[in-house]
């Protein structure tokens, strides 16, 4: 199996029925894949499998060439995620979040540019806990993307974003893939399907 994301014959059970089964998905470096389907169809579950938070009942799965395991530091450094339970530090400002990321990953950060890109330039010094829901979403997206990664996993990143934010998100996914990452996005935002290299659609 090749590619940063490679799944073959993947199946996950939910109680006594199969949530999905026989799923094949290969996402190469520089490509994006979108997972679409109704509530409860298994999109988040698939992303949890890709991050190694849940093991599939059957099939083969490799992310960055290994069986996914979120407990491994090296794996977490190569795979960046925005999942349902992703959090920020409520006491820290967006600027401090960027500094923290730069410190953790040993990267030089242009804080002003990073905040401007995510639409938080004028909220740079506001504690994250006081930001609006959409602004907090932008901060989480900043946290997931303003760091090095080979694979990016996003679960319904459009949640709480305004119209301009959703357009920016669509552009961001294209930009991140064009820079060489493999991106997998579970979404209810149709425009993302049109920019994706691969679409997994349930229901």
Ligand X SMILES: Nc1ncnc2c1ncn2[C@@H]1O[C@H](COP(=O)(O)OP(=O)(O)OP(=O)(O)O)[C@@H](O)[C@H]1O
Q: How many residues bind ligand X (CB under 6 A)?
A: 12
Residue corresponding to tokens 């552009």 = 171
CA distance 178 to 156: 20
Residue corresponding to tokens 């109680």 = 15
CA distance 49 to 14: 13
Answer yes or no: are the C-beta atoms of 186 and 156 closer than 8 Å: yes
For the CB of residue 126, give the shortest distance to ligand X in the complex, in Å: 29
For the CB of residue 44, give the shortest distance to ligand X in the complex, in Å: 3
Cβ-based nearer residue to ligand X, 30 or 191: 191
Cβ-based nearer residue to ligand X, 84 or 167: 84
Considering only residues 179-198, where is the footprint of ligand X by CB under 6 A?
186
Cβ-based nearer residue to ligand X, 43 or 62: 43
CA distance 157 to 175: 15
Considering only residues 12-51, where is the footprint of ligand X by CB under 6 A?
14-15, 19, 37, 39-45
For the CB of residue 19, give the shortest distance to ligand X in the complex, in Å: 5
Strand pairing partners for 60? 8
């Amino acid at each position: 199996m090749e590619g940063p994301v490679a799944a073959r014959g993947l199946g996950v059970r939910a109680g006594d029925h199969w949530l999905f089964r026989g799923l094949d998905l290969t996402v190469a470096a520089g490509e994006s894949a979108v997972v679409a389907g109704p509530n409860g169809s298994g999109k988040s579950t698939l992303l949890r499998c890709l991050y190694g938070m849940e093991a599939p009942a059957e099939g083969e799965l490799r992310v960055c060439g290994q069986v996914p395991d979120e407990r491994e530091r090296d794996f977490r450094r190569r795979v960046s995620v925005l999942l349902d339970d992703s959090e920020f530090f409520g006491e820290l400002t967006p600027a401090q979040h960027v500094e923290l990321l730069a410190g953790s990953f040993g990267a030089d950060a242009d804080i002003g540019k990073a905040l401007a890109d995510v639409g938080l330039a004028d909220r740079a010094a506001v504690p994250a806990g006081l930001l609006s829901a959409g602004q907090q979403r932008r901060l989480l997206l900043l946290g997931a993307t303003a760091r090095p990664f080979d694979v990016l996993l996003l679960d319904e990143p459009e949640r709480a974003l305004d119209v301009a934010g959703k357009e920016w998100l669509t552009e961001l996914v294209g930009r991140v893939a064009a820079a060489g990452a493999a991106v997998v996005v579970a979404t209810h935002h149709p425009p993302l399907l049109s920019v994706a290299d691969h679409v997994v659609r349930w229901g």
